[in-house]
């Protein structure tokens, strides 16, 4: 069973390139985390300010470890959050085996 997270970030006007740079920076680092199974980032074809990050972890603890990681704290919390107009996080759990 995996722990799935969908993050939708909308950059403030004029911040979309900086947000994309942060996502590009954290993607390979996030993929190297022990509990990470999938980390994929996308940008909307209709709105370049809107980003979707699809993540799969072995369990909730692995996701919490991701959020506590040095790269997440430095690049996302320390830089990117101030550049966002909105941030939505949705967690999904398996329906069954």
For the segment 69-88, what is each residue's pLDDT rounded down to a tens digit?
999 999 999 999 999 999 99
87 part of a folded domain: yes
pLDDT more than 90, % of the chain = 93
CATH of the domain at 19: 3.30.70.100
Domain count, the chain: 1
Torsions phi, psi for 19 (to 5 deg): -65, -45
Q: What predicted TM-score, i.e. pTM, was given to this entire model?
A: 0.93
Q: Which residue range(s) make up the domain with 21?
A: 3-92
Assigned domain for 97 exists: no
pLDDT of residue 94: 83
What mean pLDDT comes out for the span 34-48? 98
- Determine, yes or no, domain membership for 51: yes
């Amino acid at each position: 069973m995996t722990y799935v997270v969908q993050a939708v970030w909308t950059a403030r006007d004029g911040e979309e390139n900086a947000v994309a740079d942060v996502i590009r920076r954290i993607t390979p680092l996030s993929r190297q985390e022990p509990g990470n199974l999938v980390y994929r980032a996308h940008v909307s074809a209709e709105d370049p300010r809107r980003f979707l990050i699809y993540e799969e972890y072995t369990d909730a603890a692995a996701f919490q470890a991701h959020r506590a990681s040095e790269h997440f704290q430095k690049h996302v919390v320390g830089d990117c959050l101030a550049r966002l107009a909105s941030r939505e996080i949705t967690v999904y759990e398996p329906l069954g085996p």
